Amino acid sequence: MSTDRTDRDVLEVDGLDAFYGRSHVIHGLDMRVRPGELVALLGRNGAGKTTAFGALMGIVETRGGSIRVAGEEIAGAPTYRRARRGLTLVPSGARVFANLTVEENLAIVRAAGGDEGWTADRVYEVFPKLRDLRASMAGNLSGGERQMLAVGRGLMADPKVLLFDEPSEGLAPVILQEIGRLLGRLKELGLSMVLAEQNHRFALRYADRGYLIEKGQIRHEAPAAELEGSAALQRYLGV
Ligand SMILES: Nc1ncnc2c1ncn2[C@@H]1O[C@H](COP(=O)(O)OP(=O)(O)OP(=O)(O)O)[C@@H](O)[C@H]1O
Ligand SMILES: [Mg+2]
């Protein structure tokens, strides 16, 4: 709901509507991400977080609206072009190729992407654990390690904005801390991110700012520090 319009925003979404067939799910999505900012997109089960990401990526049908990445309009473009412009989705469930090694999982993204920026070596520098595991089958990794690999795959696409769908889902508290540290590393690197979560406590620990989404509409926006324990959070997330 922010009406800030600085040309510094790395992601600018205006009035985006998204549909599954005739079912109108996302209504007039407005969203901003500043460079280096970690923005939480918080909402209950079925609120529209995954659909909003799908709409941004061009996986879900949209009508109208505008999506700019670093000032470039990508609404209506095919998914691969959006990815090339720097919009990267790390889907929920840390989906990786179970029957490929860690190294192979990283290499195939590079094959599909550009040829500058992120390399497997750089990913290993950020997540040394992945280097130790590089010959392991991804299917044998723990939940936290798999999430790390999923993020590594995202980085290999040279993202300007990383869309992170519910990384906390189904993970034990100790693994959550690991994911939290991982988010911290990505922030240090200056990455701009949107973190979709039902787990507001987790997300708000790391986010700079948050949007509350309900029934496919952004209902509220505030700095993360103001959201925890707020009436808005209670109203839209029922906590
Ligand atoms: N493939 C689909 N076809 C039709 N409707 C769908 C489809 N996927 C999701 N929906 C509907 O769209 C709405 C938003 O769902 P979405 O998955 O985006 O919510 P979410 O916020 O990601 O929820 P969760 O936290 O459970 O992941 C829901 O009403 C859901 O039933
Ligand atoms: Mg979802």
- pLDDT tens for 98-133 read 999 999 999 988 655 555 688 999 999 999 999 999
pLDDT tens-place string over residues 197-216: 999 999 999 999 999 999 99
Expressed in angstroms and rounded, the spacing between residue 47 Cα and the centre of ligand 1 is 7
Expressed in angstroms and rounded, the spacing between residue 45 Cα and the centre of ligand 1 is 8
Q: Choose which residue among 17, 27, 44, 50 to substitute to test ligand 1 binding: the one with the highest number of ligand atoms within 8 A of its C-beta.
A: 50
Mean pLDDT across the chain: 92
Expressed in angstroms and rounded, the spacing between residue 116 Cα and the centre of ligand 2 is 31
- Backbone torsions φ then ψ of 41, nearest 5 degrees: -115, 105
What's the token pair of residue 88?
A: 């990267």
Q: Choose which residue among 17, 19, 20 to substitute to test ligand 1 binding: the one with the highest number of ligand atoms within 8 A of its C-beta.
A: 20
What's the token pair of residue 54?
A: 């799908």
Residue owning tokens 């500043």:
34
| Domains defined for the chain, CATH in brackets | 11-232 (3.40.50.300)
Q: What is the pTM of this model?
A: 0.93
What's the token pair of residue 30?
A: 């407005």
* Nearest alpha carbon, ligand 1 atom 26: 45
Pocket of ligand 1, beta carbon within 6 A: 20, 23, 25, 43, 45-51, 166, 198
What ligand 1 atom has the least distance to the C-alpha of 213?
Answer: 21
